Structure 1
Amino acid sequence: MPVPEPGGAAAPTPGRRRMPKQRRSRELVERILTAAGELFAERGYAEVNTNLVAARAGVSVGSLYQFFADKDAILTALQEQWTIRLGAALDERLRDALDAEPAELIDEVLDIHAALNEDPPGLLGFLLSSSTSPPAAPGVVEAIRSRLVQRLEVLAPAMPPERRETAASVIVHISNGLYAVGRSAGATDTAVRAEVRRALLSYVRTLRDDT
């Protein structure tokens, strides 16, 4: 995530040439990120370049280069944007579900995966995929893992903190089976979702019973 500068402004991340300040510039950057997200999900990282992104966004390559040095910088900005978006979605849906049964919590998380991976189709799966090149940003995965640690504190309060951290990482790994097996469909593939749900539910119940 960007590091705050004195005065509260966010410093540009590596590869980011400058941060948009005017409304018109912010809209241009948002068009670039939207276009890049669609293309990464459709074609994969290796098959996308800045010319394709600019054309999809309806802007000149020169305008794109005012804000991003290359497609790596665009991917980094997307990952940061989705870290915030995913974290907000998890907080909103799970805020009132702290005392819910494991099955209900798992269904809520899978519903979030399904909804976000449809807007645009396949992008969340791309960002979470271990095959993403460059690899998925830690922040996107951490947005999920940190919320799971909080829920495990409620589901298994006697669990040692170190094990809770490890268990949360295992749950994330199992959840990513949505994209390792279901590919771009993710949680919208009903057969894959059912199997991932079964694996998650079995594991989470074991965690609760062991403590």
Structure 2
Amino acid sequence: MTKTSVLKPRKVPTQQRAVVMVDAILDASARILVERGYAGLNTNAVAQRAGISIGSLYQYFASKEALLVALQTRHAMEMSSALQSLLGQSERCGLPEAVAQFVRAAVAAHEVAPDLHRVLEKELPFFVEDSELVGKEVHRHVLSLLELYRAEVAQPNLELAAWMMMRMTEALVHAAVLEPPPGLAASEIEAGVSHAILAFLTTAVGRP
């Protein structure tokens, strides 16, 4: 069994009962990670916390590393869903408002279980190279967002602009939500992140 296969779910739940069980497994994993850290996470403890047998857990996840990657995948899917909803709005609101909404969606996603996100931020780099999440869906949505407002984006390379927008948002929002600076209101920080991204997108950069 390769390292990559160990990180992938063994199968995807299709029946409602199985979906509920997998959610319970991931919720239990999240609680244990927050309480004990990655070193304290093990599949037996997760199964016991989720109220299922270890055999049932192993039907879906081969290792605790697979659980960790699945938690981050769920987070990425939440972000992707938020962006898809933003892109599905019937009326264009202009690039500044679209960027502000994108940042708000990122902040909202990170505000859910921030303690868990701190653990994922610390532990996931050991596994992310071999997982398939790596933000491809989020990148696709960001690229679509920039294409929608192409006339307002000064950057010539939209692929680069989408990558920069994702990385700027992830870094700044992580810092704002997980390690908030004292004396600054959340609304000020959120506005600052939006302005920084908008400044990059609307500043023309010559080709090297």
What TM-score do the two structures reach when normalised by structure 1? 0.70
Specify the alignment match of 1:53 in structure 2. 46
Match of 1:24 in 2: 17
Structure 1 equivalent of residue 201 of structure 2: 204
- Count of matched residue pairs: 196
Q: CA deviation at 1:174?
A: 0.6
Contact 1:35 1:57 in 2 (8 A): yes
Superposed displacement of residue 89, structure 1: 1.7
Q: CA RMSD in A?
A: 3.7
SS in 1 for 2:135: helix
**1:135-182 C-alpha deviation (Å, 9 max, x unpaired):** 375535222221121122232349799811011101111101235523
Q: What is the rounded CA distance, in whole Å, between the counterparts of 2:145 and 2:171 in structure 1? A: 21
* Unaligned segments of structure 1, at least 5 residues: 1-11
What's the secondary structure of 1:16's corresponding residue?
coil
Alignment counterpart, residue 176 of structure 2, candidates 165, 177, 182 = 182
Query: Quick one: which of 67, 75, 90 aligns to 1:74?
Result: 67
Does structure 2 conserve the Cα–Cα contact (< 8 Å) formed by 1:116 and 1:124? no
> Comparing 164-173 with 112-121, which one deviates more in the overlay?
112-121
Q: Which has the higher contact order (CA 8 A, sep 6+)?
A: 2
CA–CA distance in structure 2, aligned partners of residues 125 and 148 of structure 1:
24
Q: CA deviation at 1:69?
A: 1.0
Contact 1:177 1:196 in 2 (8 A): no
Provide the rounded CA distance (Å) in 2 between the counterparts of 1:159 and 1:192: 23
**8 Å contact 1:171–1:200 — kept in the other structure?**
yes
- Equivalence for 2:112: 119
**8 Å Cα contact 2:110-2:173 kept in structure 1:** no
Structure 1, 32-41 or 143-152: larger mean CA deviation: 32-41
5+ long unaligned stretches in structure 2: none
Decide whether the 8 Å contact of 1:122 with 1:185 is kept in 2: no
Are residues 126 and 98 of structure 1, via their aligned partners in 2, closer, same or farther at CA, if it must alter by over 3 Å? farther
Matched, 1:195 2:188: no
Measured in 1, the distance between the counterparts of 2:33 and 2:16 equals 26
Q: 2:149 aligns with which of 133, 151, 155?
A: 155
Counterpart for residue 145 of structure 1:
139
Percent identity, aligned pairs only? Answer: 29
